[in-house]
Every structure is written in C-alpha cells, then in structure tokens.
Amino acid sequence: MQTLEQQGLIDLFYGDEAGFSLQSVVPYGWQQPGEVLERAAVRSPQLNVLGWLSASGHQLRSWVFEQSITSEVVIGAIDEWVGQLTQLTVLVLDNGPMHRSKLVKAQLVRWQQAGLYVFFLPAYSPHLNKIETLWRKMKYEWLTESAYQSLTSLKAAVTHLLTDYGNSHHIQFAVTHCIIDLV
C-alpha cells in the first residue's frame, strides 16, 4: 500500500483515537539531588480526538469530542470524510472495538463503492499505525504545561495543535522502499 501511495495511485491514511485529560503526561526525566518535582493529581473529563493522518504525514483530518468515541462516531466521521476523497483511498485502522463492530462492518461495502477501503492492522501492533506518532508528539512534546490548567485550556490547546498541524507542528516520515525478491 505504501508503494501505491508513493506512486500516487492511492491515498493512504492511518486512523485512530486518543484521549487527553488534565492528568498530564509526565515523561521520564531527571531532577537535581534534593529537588522535589511535583504535579498535582487531577481528575477530569476526557477530551477525545479521532483522526486520520496521511502516510506522508502532510495531511491530517481530525475531530474533537467531549463524549466517548463509539462506532457511531467513527461511522459519522468516515461518512463526512468519504465525500471529500479525490481518488481511491485506504484507511488503516487498529482492532479497536469501535472499528471492528458490526455497525462499522455493515458500512464497508458502501464505503468501497465511494472509493474508500478500510484495512485492519493485526492485533497488538500500534507500531504499524503512523498516527500513534502524532498522539505521542502531542502528549509528550507539543502540549505545554499551561494546557493543563483547565478543560477549556486543554481543549483550546489540542484544537490549536490539530488545526495548525502542518504549519508550526508537523511530522515528516521517511520514505521507505521495500524490495521483495521472489526466488
């Protein structure tokens, strides 16, 4: 699929969802001897993001919700997006229950008729889903501490990162070539 995308024959996107809350992600780090680094524990509602990231990392389509992401939400997002496709497109998804539900599977033929094919990754292989890199960058690098002051500030910061993606924040994936030798 990546070769077909690199040749311009298909568009290839990786999709998944991520949750953000006021319990900020604290990366591993060092502190000086005797120095105490503290972060207050905070319970908060979760902000959920559903997104599709192109294989090249240049295009992002995303939706932000304060509700849970269900199969109905995924179907609605795909239905909204499929009408904007300009060529044959493959959407790579993991095996999340909201992706593999009977409701979603019932839509696959309709989406194929509109030029969208859904490809499901093998179980337990998040390393194959490129959008996981975006979620990691947002949580561990791009969101500043000020984003975690309130749910309003978190939503504003997450929304800004998503809408500004490609300008001041972006991901550049290396082009890989796979050569298969049939003997």
Question: Given this model, what pLDDT does residue 183 score?
Answer: 46
Q: Is the pLDDT of residue 66 over 50?
A: yes
Cα separation, 113 vs 116, in Å, equals 7
Q: What pLDDT score does 159 carry?
A: 97
pLDDT in tens, 159-183: 999 999 999 898 888 766 555 444 4
Residue ranges of domains in the chain: 2-22+42-163
Q: Which residue type does 170 have?
A: H
Class of domain 2-22+42-163: alpha beta
Query: Residue 176: what pLDDT?
Result: 60
pLDDT for 37: 67
* CA 39 distance to own-chain centroid: 27
Euclidean distance between CA atoms 69 and 89, whole angstroms = 23
- Cα separation, 101 vs 95, in Å, equals 9
Q: Report the chain's terminal Cα–Cα distance, integer Å.
A: 22
Q: CB–CB of 142/169 below 8 Å?
A: yes
List all residues 6 or more positions away from 87 whose beta carbon is below 8 Å from its beta carbon: 9, 10, 11, 115
Residue 92 has pLDDT above 80, yes or no: yes
pLDDT grade for 132, boundaries at 50, 70 and 90: very high
Express each pLDDT in 24-47 by its tens digit: 666 556 677 888 766 666 667 889
pLDDT, average across residues 90-105: 94
